[in-house]
Structure 1
């Protein structure tokens, strides 16, 4: 059977499995098993056993459950509320005023949680009731929250960057460094959009009841100290070379627990809740990664990635044309799968193409994460949309409409890093000198 036909059969089987409601990890395993038995002579059972064993004790992957646990601890403590109260007084005179709390609050929480959904849930739980009560327009409240929460995927420590690093054997520390400037770029785009909307239509933004004197602003800023210490402890230990991402993740759990306990808002029960929730999430992601590892090995035995890369090379697509095609592909795929599933499903197929045309895998990791961020706010499977719907009880399409401008801003972000790749590569190159 010709390679395009094999690829079509396997893709069709994957879509059937997902449409039938099969878990993503199981769907990956079924497709891999069919590929092994029908299109190769390798012993499928033996390869399955060795693959699962070989990929189940990856030391780099240890950082994943630890960062998830750190985010769960923060989600259940008063530190997130303190962050809101520390930011709000400084933003009463900014164009867009307290809508920027969503943008900067999500950026700060993303730097200590690594999860887009956790960022949306934590910041939304605080900001949506407060901004609604103050009379801010619903579309901007929901839009800024949905869009800015996607920063949880990019700003280090990012769970999806860990997954990409493990799947493609890239340095996780270098990926974390590469995500810094693109993260700031997206924060600037989101905040700039809010400011422009406020300048174009000042009536949209309600007047604040009071203005805070400098002394009160400085006093409120003390609430930001615990979160700042956590960011410095985790991210600083990685960038200074004092700790690996895994060591820093363990340090983050300890610091988050100590700071949450010191705030007086944490208890043994809440810690156990955080531990159980982190365990469930980590097991789900690990299960998907094992299925993806088996699929990756199966693809190698069928020869599809190699032949596909050769086919792409024969087409002599330019790098821009390939990136346009991949962006459209990932956006469509993201409408039906969560971000981690998109990454683990596609890396075994896409990376040979990327290597064939000479694209830097480190740069491609950041590009892929930004594109996957779009999938967090696209129906029908946008995780951020579901999180916000659970909090607000609004119609999912209404939330998606409010988030659409931020989808376009993410698309602009992709264009910017394509035109100026130094936004991604400058800091990693600086670190390696």
Structure 2
């Protein structure tokens, strides 16, 4: 069978299998094993166990469970509530300041936890009721939290960036740095839209009934600063050449657990068990997908599917930006149905040779890919953040949450356009800190 025809068949069957409700990792293994068995014979299956475990034989992978523990220990405390309250106290007299406080809290909590659902839950439980009580539109209240939660996969430390780095053999340090300025840009775009939306509805002048004193503003900071110092310390150790990403992640996880115990009195072994249990569950899920994606990639390469697709696209007489638009459309649709980790591991082996041949920077492309995945988190039919918000505020309809999120989707699309026009937004900081690549 022609490799391109086989590629289409693989795509259709993979979609059908994944839509059946089976786990992503199991689905990838079933599809890969089936195609190898049919088109390459039984002998090809002998190497699959070695391939699976070879994908997991990487020291860099240790950073994934460590960063997850780091985020879980933060998410299990009142850190999100304290972060929200701190920003609310400082910005409460600013017109539209409450929604800015929520977005700022989402950005900082996302950077600390790296988890989109955890950010939505932690900030949304306090932020949404408070915004609604003060007259902010339901769409702005719910949509801003849903969109703010997506920042966890872009702002470092990001598990998604680690997975991309492993899948493409890119520098994780560069990937983390590449997400900083685009993350700040997205926060600014989200804030700008939120202020405009509240002004348009006549609610921008809604102010808090509480006028906090300077003492009240400063007394909340000691609970928040330790976590922020850990984030800055982790990044400094990584970029200062003091330690590898895996080592800094381990130290960061330990310090977050210590602070959770000392500041938030998480003394009970049951609380620590929940953190470790949930972290282990999420880590195993991600690592299982990584191993399965390695087998899936081997199948694509063994049957010459990857090479044929890259060669076919290389023969297309289209502008490279048209090609990038097609890739963005593919990533956008894939993100509607699959989690970011699965999309990266499935698409990276195919897309990387294509984007490098077209002259695009793989580090820059990682940011483009991640923003596409962020859009998927607030878009149906999966749209995990939409359902998390609906669970927090069940009296706000899913339709209202979706409509409230759409302007933030437009902000993300605008961010992608700006990154295409000014790629230095993503590449300047990595090149400045770590030097130009050869």
Query: Distance in 1 between the 2:322 and 2:94 partners?
Result: 40
Residue 253 of structure 2 is matched in structure 1 by 253
Partner SS state of residue 203, structure 1: coil
Give 1:41 shift: 5.8
Runs of 4+ in structure 1 displaced over 6 angstroms? none
CA deviations on 1:354-385 (whole Å, 9 max, x unpaired) are 12212111111111001111000001111211
Secondary structure in 1 aligned to 2:97?
coil
1:42 positional shift: 8.1
Give 1:178-327 correspondences, 5 Å limit.
Answer: 178-203=178-203, 206-267=206-267, 268-327=269-328
CA distance in structure 2 between the aligned counterparts of 1:230 and 1:124, rounded to whole angstroms: 24
Aligned partner of 1:418 in structure 2 is: 420
Match of 2:378 in 1: 377
Structure 1 match to 2:169: 169
TM-score norm. by structure 2 comes to 0.95
Contact 2:138 2:400 survives alignment (8 Å): no
Q: Which residue of 2 aligns with 1:409?
A: 411
CA distance in structure 2 between the aligned counterparts of 1:187 and 1:203, rounded to whole angstroms:
21
Residue 400 (structure 1) aligns with: 402
Whether contact under 8 Å (2:63, 2:246) holds in the other structure is: yes
- The residue matched to 1:135 in structure 2 has which SS? coil
Q: Which residue of 1 aligns with 2:344?
A: 343
Matches within 5 A, 1:42-57: 43-57=43-57
Q: Does 1:122 align with 2:157?
A: no
Is the partner of 1:273 in helix, strand or coil?
helix
Structure 1 residues without counterparts, runs of 5 or longer = none
Task: Using the TM superposition, name which of 229-238 and 303-312 deviates more.
Answer: 229-238
Normalised by the size of structure 1, how large is the TM-score? 0.96
Specify whether residues 48 and 395 from structure 1 end up closer, same or farther in structure 2 by C-alpha distance, changes over 3 A only. farther
How far apart in 1 are the matches of 2:21 and 2:78?
A: 37
The CA distance in 2 between the partners of 1:230 and 1:94, in whole Å, is: 29
- Number of aligned positions between the proteins: 433
Give the aligned CA root-mean-square deviation in angstroms.
Answer: 1.7
Q: Deviations over 1:21-63 (max 9, x none)?
A: 1111111112211332233468332221111121122211111
Separation in structure 2 between the aligned mates of residue 126 and residue 173 of structure 1, nearest angstrom: 34
Deviations 1:217-242 (A, max 9, x none): 23333332222222222222222222
Q: Indicate if the aligned counterparts of 1:79 and 1:263 stay in contact, CA closer than 8 A.
A: no
* Local SS of the residue matching 1:43: helix
Describe the superposition over 1:133-174 as per-residue Cα deviations: whole angstroms up to 9, x where unpaired: 333321111111011111001000001001111111111111
